[in-house]
Amino acid sequence: MTQDTINEVLKFRDDRDWKQFHNPKDLAISISLEAAELLEVFQWSAEDVVCENKLNKIREELADVVNYCILMADACGLDLDEIVHEKVQLNNEKYPVEKAFGNKEKYTELKDK
Ligand SMILES: [Mg+2]
């Protein structure tokens, strides 16, 4: 995520004086609602997991999720690059390549090869 992108999202909020409404609870709710809208793109699609014909709607809803994530991080004083980096490091420990490569099991189910 570039700082320019983050600044653009925050400017959109600040130009409208909406920061006063952006508490962590309501932003968490908004992230979940937009994630549900992203999921709705696939509702009733049976086994159709190809997304090419849904890409415009996916772009829109994924952007909504990310925008709210940027606003949530700002409201909580968190650095998105830092928290994502930390999470990848944690996931590297939970899912070591030698155990998880080509394996979709949850980390608690991973076994030594
Ligand atoms: Mg939406």
User: Confidence class of residue 26 from pLDDT cuts 50, 70 and 90?
Assistant: very high
Distance between Cα 31 and ligand 1 center (Å): 9
pLDDT of residue 52: 80
User: Confidence class of residue 113 from pLDDT cuts 50, 70 and 90?
Assistant: low
Distance between Cα 47 and ligand 1 center (Å): 23
Separation CA 113–CA 98 (nearest Å): 8
pLDDT of residue 91: 96
Distance between Cα 37 and ligand 1 center (Å): 6
What pTM was computed for the model?
Answer: 0.90
Give per-residue pLDDT as tens, 30-83. Answer: 999 999 999 999 888 877 677 788 899 999 999 999 999 999 999 999 999 999
Contacts 24+ apart (CB under 8 A), 15-22: 22/71, 22/74, 22/75
Distance between Cα 28 and ligand 1 center (Å): 14
Residue 89 Cα distances to 8, 33, 58, 112, angstroms:
28, 28, 28, 20
Distance between Cα 30 and ligand 1 center (Å): 9
Distance between Cα 22 and ligand 1 center (Å): 17
Give per-residue pLDDT as tens, 12-23. Answer: 999 999 999 999
Distance between Cα 107 and ligand 1 center (Å): 32
Distance between Cα 87 and ligand 1 center (Å): 26
